[in-house]
Structure 1
Amino acid sequence: MAEQERMVEAILFASAEPVSVADLNARMPHGCDAAEAVVHLRKRFEGRGVNVVRVGDAWAIRTAPDLGFLMQRETVETRKLSRAATETLAIIAYHQPVTRAEIEEIRGVAVSRGTVDQLLELEWIRFGRRRMTPGRPVTFVVTQNFLDHFGLENARDLPGLKELRAAGLLDNRPGFATAVTEDDIDEDGEQSEMFEE
């Protein structure tokens, strides 16, 4: 098992993107159990400067959260999201899967194509399933890149209304925002609803 852990460690260390267990198994010699190796490796890295973390359905090696301040000088922010893009992203994250019409209804204004294109280009959102309603509108959902960027395992880890209001990030007007509860999200991290591929 130690040799399998070393192989998984090498793959995760060299990969810029999170790697799924299926991809790990495909790269490792026949008969290796990447899933078990990841569990052992994750335990071995607990409390160290880097951790093996789950990102959606994949795994990655990331700096321990409490040491993130050490990396600040090496982080380059190329551009800030506009307020429209930030609001659109938040709506998608909390209400996914959501259509453009639903985003516009929640925001109260039209969503420009450029805003959606920017989020798609950043690979923070992707097209979801088509809704089984007239016109079969496409939905939007957040991606693993979004989860990875914000240090989330899945969409359920997003802060709730109480935490956002306590941090001063939400307007206190009643009905200003609605959070998705755990009962509204299925095991795939998407809101429960009837969809068609």
Structure 2
Amino acid sequence: MTPLSDPVRAVEAALFAADAPMTAEEIAAYVGEGVDVKAALAELARHYAGRGIELVERGKAWHFQTAADLAHLLRRERDEPRKLSRAAVETLAIIAYHEPVSRAEIEAIRGVQISKGTLDVLMEAGWVRPAGRREAPGRPLVYATTAGFLTHFGLQSRRDLPGIDDLKAAGLLDPVDLALEQQLELETEREED
């Protein structure tokens, strides 16, 4: 491989440092008027032919790019963590503990309507799926969790979901709910006496 001459190296450096493709005129503005930019570009194109990167011309502008046959090596799939809204978390919990469950049943348990996109977000995440229709008037669609839900949360089956005692021990239950539950237990005990 022959070493590149200084004018060719200057063109190479200008292209490498550029944040967008450059025309021959734009390159000449960087490297000076005395440089034969077209000859330098041709030499660079020959020099990089068959390598991991190549010099290409697109619409009269030049730039370096990854060789097309190697582009697959540089693709990375990224998992972008998505924070669920409180409504989505509540809806997911209701579906997990009560499946199969209809939209109306979810709303009755939560005490508020489900916003339009809540179930869509859970289905897009791969945690919830339509599970058929209930044999009831109107035949409402029912929802259930998926294998992806179990995998994501490290569960073998729905039986591995934490119970009420586990949630209390972890401090994940709302103190108001706990107080109401204790009050109901006291009232029940008084009625039995």
Structure 2 alignment gaps of length 5 or more: 1-77, 182-193
Structure 1 alignment gaps of length 5 or more: 1-74, 176-197
CA distance in 1, matches of 2:131, 2:115: 19
Paired position in structure 2 for 1:97 = 100
Give 1:124 shift: 0.2
Give 1:129 shift: 2.0
CA distance in 1, matches of 2:121, 2:104: 18
CA distance in 1, matches of 2:172, 2:80: 21
SS at match of 1:127: strand
Tell me, yes or no, if structure 1 residue 112 matches structure 2 residue 122: no
Give 1:133 shift: 0.5
SS at match of 1:156: helix
CA distance in 2, matches of 1:106, 1:91: 8
Paired position in structure 2 for 1:14 = none
- Where relative contact order (Cα < 8 A, 6+ residues apart) is larger, the structure is 1
| Of 149, 166, 169, the match for 2:169 | 166
CA distance in 1, matches of 2:146, 2:164: 22
Paired position in structure 1 for 2:126 = 123
CA distance in 1, matches of 2:179, 2:90: 16
TM-score normalized with structure 1 length: 0.49
CA distance in 1, matches of 2:114, 2:83: 18
Give 1:170 shift: 1.2
Paired position in structure 2 for 1:154 = 157
Give 1:150 shift: 0.5
SS at match of 2:117: helix
CA distance in 2, matches of 1:161, 1:134: 33
Give 1:79 shift: 1.7
CA distance in 1, matches of 2:111, 2:171: 22
Give 1:76 shift: 5.7
Instruction: Calculate percent identity across the aligned residue pairs.
Output: 60
Supply the AA of the counterpart residue of 1:125: V
Higher helix share: 2
**Root-mean-square deviation (Å):** 1.9
SS at match of 1:113: coil
Give 1:113 shift: 1.7
Correspondence list, 1:35-184, <5 A: 77-171=80-174, 172-174=178-180
CA distance in 1, matches of 2:121, 2:100: 18
Give 1:88 shift: 0.3
CA distance in 2, matches of 1:163, 1:77: 30
